[in-house]
Amino acid sequence: MTPGTTPLIAVTIFCAIAGFRIGRHKGHTLAGFLLGLLLPVVGLIILAFVPMTDEARSRQAAGKHEAGREAQRQLAAEQAQRGAGYPSPAYPQPALGSGTGRRLPGDRDLGSDRAGE
């Protein structure tokens, strides 16, 4: 072997593995591997334009749907764990009559109907 063949072999193996993974995602596993192996960089470019199979599309949609359901389960579990009440424990409200004296924009003056204040 000449010194120049080692990088070429490494690139070919890398492209074959990448072609296999891209092909598996698109539903063309064997074609992706062969394109990556036989036409290393050009094969990956060709594989980028190959459309997904219907089976791969439905598998991807099912995965997204399942991920959404899992996120909803996690959110429901977190809400149940903290009591799902308002205000949430992350933002505790001050006790009534705490006397901070600070007003925020949009606060209404509840005591303005009293005389002398």
Structure confidence at residue 43 (pLDDT)? 93
pLDDT at 70 over 50: yes
CB neighbour class for 2 (10 Å; exposed up to 12, middle 13-18, buried from 19): exposed
What is the DSSP annotation of 62-97? HHHHHHHHHHHHHHHHHHHHTTS-SS-TTSPPPPTT
Give the DSSP letter of residue 50.
S
65 versus 15: the higher-pLDDT residue is 15
The pLDDT of 41-56, averaged and rounded, is 93
Task: State pLDDT tens for residues 74-84.
Answer: 888 887 777 65
pTM: 0.56
Predicted confidence band at 117 (pLDDT cuts at 50, 70, 90)?
A: very low
